[in-house]
Amino acid sequence: MKFFNLLSLSFVILLSISCAKDGEQGPAGPQGPAGANGNANVTSYYVNTTSANWTCSGLCYTDVNFPQITQNILNSGLVCVFMQSTSSTGVWLNMPWTEFNTTYSSNYNFNYSLGSMRIFKEDSDLLTPLNPGVRTFKVIIIPSSQREANPDVNWNNLAEIEKRFNVLEQ
């Protein structure tokens, strides 16, 4: 019995020494307001063009300032661009997109760099394409943390991206 009491006392002393506190814990703070439904820093933007926005010489292009395209996005994020169909309202085409004509095809594509994006159209017949005129594009910028945390997302499917990240209208 003495052995058990001595062992218990040693345990209590050891526990009290190892669990010393630096100070008293303060009272719990008040509950904060509920946050809005977020989209995990995934952002979307519309780019609307007119005939005046395009420069056509060898290919047609329009340059757009995008300060949201940061060095972090360039290093490991993702930029997706979709073009609204001119023939079917509400249909978004994943870029790059190719339209086939009778004797040639027109390819719509994009590239981006720090703070800017270029959307362009080039024709397979190597002639300067017709000015694309009025077009609507939807640009979605995804930081690397969300790209990596959502490996199951089909980044070529606008409806899936919008649903996952709540970027229907911004």
Domain ranges in the chain are 53-165
Q: What is the pLDDT of residues 83-125, one digit of tens each?
A: 999 887 779 999 999 999 889 999 999 999 999 999 999 999 9
Nearest to 143 by CA among 43, 65, 45: 43
At which residue do the structure tokens 């439904």 appear?
A: 37
Does position 169 have pLDDT exceeding 80, yes or no? Answer: no
pLDDT of residue 166: 83
pTM to 2 decimal places: 0.73
86's tokens? 């001119």
Q: Hey, what amino acid is at 79? A: V
Rg (CA), the chain: 28
Identify whether 96 is preceded by a cis peptide bond (ω within 30 of 0): yes
Q: Choose between 17 and 136: higher pLDDT.
A: 136
